Structure 1
Amino acid sequence: MEVLGYFASLFIGISLGLIGGGGSILTVPILVYLFHVNPKLATTYSLFIVGLTAAFGAVRHYKMGNIEIKSASYFAIPSLMTLLVVRKVILLRIPETIAFGTSFSISRSMIIMVLFAVLMIMASYSMIRTQKAVVKEAKVEPIQLITIGAIVGIITGFLGAGGGFLIIPALLFFARMKMKQAVGTSLLIIGFNSLFGFLGDVLNGVAMDYTFLLSIAFIAGIGIFIGTFLSKKIDGAKLKPIFGWFVLIMGIYIIAKELTS
Structure 2
Amino acid sequence: MILALLAGAVVGIALGALGGGGSVLAVPALIYLLGFSPVTATTASLVVVALTSVTALYAHARDGRVRWRTGALFAVAGLIPAALGGVLAARLPDAVLTGAFAVIAAVVAIGMLRSDDGRDERDDRDEKASGADSDSGSVRGGEGVERAGGTGPAVRAGAGVGALTGVLGVGGGFLVVPALIRTLGLGTRTAVGTGLLVITVNAIAALATRSGTAQGLEWGLIAPFAAAAVLGAWDGKRLADRLPAATLRRILAWVLIAVAVAMATDATGVV
The answer as to 2:188 corresponding to 1:179 is: yes
- Offset of residue 73 of structure 1: 1.5
User: Is the Cα–Cα contact under 8 Å of residues 83 and 197 in structure 1 kept in the other structure?
Assistant: yes
Aligned length: 245
**Structure 2 Cα separation of the partners of residues 167 and 238 of structure 1:** 20
Q: Tell me what 1:239 maps to.
A: 248
The answer as to 2:168 corresponding to 1:159 is: yes
User: Is the Cα–Cα contact under 8 Å of residues 8 and 227 in structure 2 kept in the other structure?
Assistant: no
**Structure 1 Cα separation of the partners of residues 171 and 258 of structure 2:** 20
What is the TM-score of this pair, normalised by structure 1? 0.87
| Counterpart residue identity of residue 213, structure 1 | I
The answer as to 2:263 corresponding to 1:251 is: no
Q: Tell me what 1:103 maps to.
A: none
**Structure 2 Cα separation of the partners of residues 239 and 216 of structure 1:** 21
Q: 2:239 aligns with which of 227, 230, 233?
A: 230
| Counterpart residue identity of residue 124, structure 1 | A
User: Is the Cα–Cα contact under 8 Å of residues 117 and 254 in structure 1 kept in the other structure?
Assistant: yes
Structure 2, unpaired ranges of 5+: 124-137
The answer as to 2:117 corresponding to 1:117 is: no
Structure 1 residue matching 2:210: 3-state secondary structure: helix
User: Is the Cα–Cα contact under 8 Å of residues 105 and 260 in structure 2 kept in the other structure?
Assistant: yes
**Structure 2 Cα separation of the partners of residues 92 and 246 of structure 1:** 27
**Structure 2 Cα separation of the partners of residues 74 and 149 of structure 1:** 8
What is the TM-score of this pair, normalised by structure 2? 0.84
**Structure 2 Cα separation of the partners of residues 93 and 116 of structure 1:** 16
Q: 2:214 aligns with which of 206, 209, 219?
A: 206
Seen in structure 2, the aligned counterparts of structure 1 residues 23 and 218 have a Cα distance that, compared at 3 Å, is same
Q: Tell me what 1:25 maps to.
A: 24
The answer as to 2:100 corresponding to 1:91 is: no
Structure 1, unpaired ranges of 5+: 95-107
- Offset of residue 58 of structure 1: 0.2
**Structure 1 Cα separation of the partners of residues 264 and 218 of structure 2:** 28
Seen in structure 2, the aligned counterparts of structure 1 residues 205 and 121 have a Cα distance that, compared at 3 Å, is closer
Root-mean-square deviation over aligned CA pairs: 1.9
Cα deviation, 1:70-93, whole Å, max 9, x if unaligned, reads 1101210111110111223x3344
Cα deviation, 1:172-210, whole Å, max 9, x if unaligned, reads 1112111111111111111111123213323x4730333
Q: Tell me what 1:6 maps to.
A: 5
Cα deviation, 1:208-227, whole Å, max 9, x if unaligned, reads 33343222110101110110
The percent of aligned pairs where both chains have the same amino acid is 29
**Structure 2 Cα separation of the partners of residues 40 and 53 of structure 1:** 20
Seen in structure 2, the aligned counterparts of structure 1 residues 27 and 129 have a Cα distance that, compared at 3 Å, is same
| Counterpart residue identity of residue 172, structure 1 | I
User: Is the Cα–Cα contact under 8 Å of residues 55 and 192 in structure 1 kept in the other structure?
Assistant: no
Structure 1 residue matching 2:242: 3-state secondary structure: coil
Matches within 5 A, 1:65-76: 65-76=64-75
Q: Tell me what 2:56 maps to.
A: 57
Q: Tell me what 1:15 maps to.
A: 14
Please say which of residues 204-213 and 73-82 is displaced more in the overlay: 204-213
